[in-house]
Amino acid sequence: MTATRTDRRERLDAATAHLEPPFAVIDLAALRANAADMTRRAAGKPIRLASKSVRSRAVIERVLRLDGFRGVLAFTLPEAIWLARQGTSADIVVAYPTANRTALAELAADAGLAAAVTVMIDSPAHLDLIEKVAAGLADAHPVRVAIDLDTGYLGLGGLLRAGARRSPVRTPEQAAALAADAAGRSRIRLAGLMAYEAQIAGVGDNPPGQPVMARAIRYMQRRSAAELVTRRAAVVAAVRAVADLEFVNGGGTGSVAATAAEAAVTEIGAGSGLYHPTLFDAYRAFTGRPAALFALPVVRRPGPGVVTALCGGYIASGPAAKSRLPRPCLPAGLRLDRDEGAGEVQTPLLGAAADALRIGDRVWLRHAKAGEMCERFAELHLIEGDKVVATVPTYRGEGQTFG
Ligand SMILES: Cc1ncc(COP(=O)(O)O)c(C=O)c1O
C-alpha cells in the first residue's frame, strides 16, 4: 500500500511539476477503471450520467463516449438547457423539480430543447406551473416530464424514516393519478419515472470505526430494498397502464448492481463513482479508485510533526460531520487538526509525514463528494500516466454556477 502510494505521489508530482497549487486533477486511468466497473455492475442497463457529480462539460462528454453511459441526469433546468445547446447531449433528464419560469419558457419555446430535455414533477402544482408558462407563449412545444417517486423507507409503523425528503408520490395509486393528470394535459408529455433510493445508493454500509452504525445501516438497507423492489414494480405497472414510459430511472453509485437487477428499472442514474470521493470508500459492494484529487502547497512549518498548507476548506454538503471534510491522501500519514479542520485560507496537516515536507512541496487531498470539488477550481488537469494530457474547464471555469 505504502509503496503504491509513494509511486502514485511521484507520478502525480511529476505530471504536475509545472503547475502552481492549489489545483485539481483527474487521473484518467482511475476514471476509466471506475467507469468500467460501474458499467459492469449495471449489467447491460445504461447509466445516465449524474452531472452534479462531475461538473465539467468536457469530462461529461468524455464519459458519454464510453460504453455503457447514455444521457445526462442534470441538476437544474438552466444547466440542462446549457448542456443541450452546447451539444453535450440530446437526452437530458433534470432530476429535481424546477420553479424557474424563465427557463421553462425557454424550453417550451424551442422545439429542439423541448425534445431533448425532460423535467421532474411530483405534484399537479408542477404541471400547473408548466402549463401557465406555456400558455403565455405564442408557440409552445409540449414539455416532457417525469414523475419522481418517494422511495424512502418507513419502519416501525412510520416512526422510523430513512431516505431523502423529496417527492410526496409514494403509492401506485398516487403515481397513477398524477400520471393521468399529466397525460390529460395537451402541453405536457409524460416521458418517464424516476425512483432514486438515497438511503441505499447514497449511504455507505461500512462507515469506518462505527460497527454499530454499520449494522443499523445494513439492516435498514436490507428492509428498504425488499420493500422497494415490490413497490417500485407496482408503481411502474400502474403508471404504464396510464401512459407509455420511455424510461424508469433508479439507483446511484452505491446501488448500481442491485437496482439494475430490478426488471422495472430501465436505466441507472449515477456519477459519483467516476471520481470516487471519500464518502464512497464506505461501501462493501464495490471498491473504486480515487480519480479526483486536489493539490495544496505547503506554505509553513509551525513545528515538529505539522505543516500548514494554503486553503483546503472545501467542505462537502449534507449534515455537518467529520465525514464531509476533505481527506489528506498523499503523502500517506497526514491528518487534519481536530480543532482547525480544513481552513478557509490555511490547513494544518499533522503526522510523522509532515517532517519530510518542505515549504513549496505539495500535499494531495480528496474531497468528500464528487462534483462539488469543481466549484472550487476553474480547471481540471487531466493526467495520463505521468503527464497532463489536457486541461479542461469545470462548470465554474466556464462561468456557470448552477447551484
Ligand atoms: C436523483 C438522483 N439519482 C441518482 C443519484 C446518484 O448520483 P451519484 O451516483 O453521483 O451519487 C443522485 C444523487 O444524489 C440523485 O439525486
314 CB within 6 A, ligand 1: no
Q: What is the mean pLDDT of residues 320-342?
A: 97
Residues 218 and 52: their CA atoms lie apart, in Å, by 27
151 CB within 6 A, ligand 1: no
pLDDT(1) > 70: no
88 CB within 6 A, ligand 1: no
pLDDT(60) > 70: yes
pLDDT(4) > 90: no
CA of 344 from ligand 1 middle (Å) equals 28
Q: What is the mean pLDDT of residues 80-94?
A: 98
270 CB within 6 A, ligand 1: yes
250 CB within 6 A, ligand 1: no
Phi, psi torsion values for 319, nearest 5 degrees:
-60, 130
Alpha helix (H) ranges present in 18-152?
Answer: 28-42, 57-64, 77-86, 101-109, 111-116, 124-135
Nine-digit cell string for 168: 410526496
Q: What is the mean pLDDT of residues 350-379?
A: 98
For strands 267-270 and 47-50, give the pairing: parallel
Residues 69 and 351: their CA atoms lie apart, in Å, by 41
Phi, psi torsion values for 90, nearest 5 degrees:
-110, 20
Mean pLDDT score of the chain: 97
50 CB within 6 A, ligand 1: yes
277 CB within 6 A, ligand 1: no
For strands 69-74 and 92-94, give the pairing: parallel
Cis amide leading into 21 (omega within 30):
no
Ligand 1 atom closest to Cα of 272? 10
Cis amide leading into 22 (omega within 30):
yes
Ligand 1 atom closest to Cα of 268? 4
Q: Could you give the 3-state DSSP secondary structure of residue 117?
A: strand
CA dihedral 323, 324, 325, 327 (to 10 degrees): 60
pLDDT(214) > 60: yes
Count CA atoms closer than 13 A to 124's CA, side-chain side: 8
CA of 141 from ligand 1 middle (Å) equals 29
pLDDT(2) > 60: no
CA of 252 from ligand 1 middle (Å) equals 5
Query: Is 0.95 topped by the overall pTM?
Result: yes
Pocket test for ligand 1, best of 232, 268, 272, 286 (most atoms within 8 A of CB): 272
For strands 47-50 and 69-74, give the pairing: parallel
Among protein residues, the one with the nearest Cα to ligand 1's atom 2 is: 196
Residues 379 and 30: their CA atoms lie apart, in Å, by 18
Amino acid identity, residue 321?
Answer: A
Tens of pLDDT, residue by residue over 224-267, are 999 999 999 999 999 999 999 999 999 999 999 999 999 999 99
Tens of pLDDT, residue by residue over 30-39, are 999 999 999 9
CA of 339 from ligand 1 middle (Å) equals 32
Q: How confident is the model at residue 3 (pLDDT cuts 50, 70, 90)?
A: low
Phi, psi torsion values for 301, nearest 5 degrees:
-130, 95
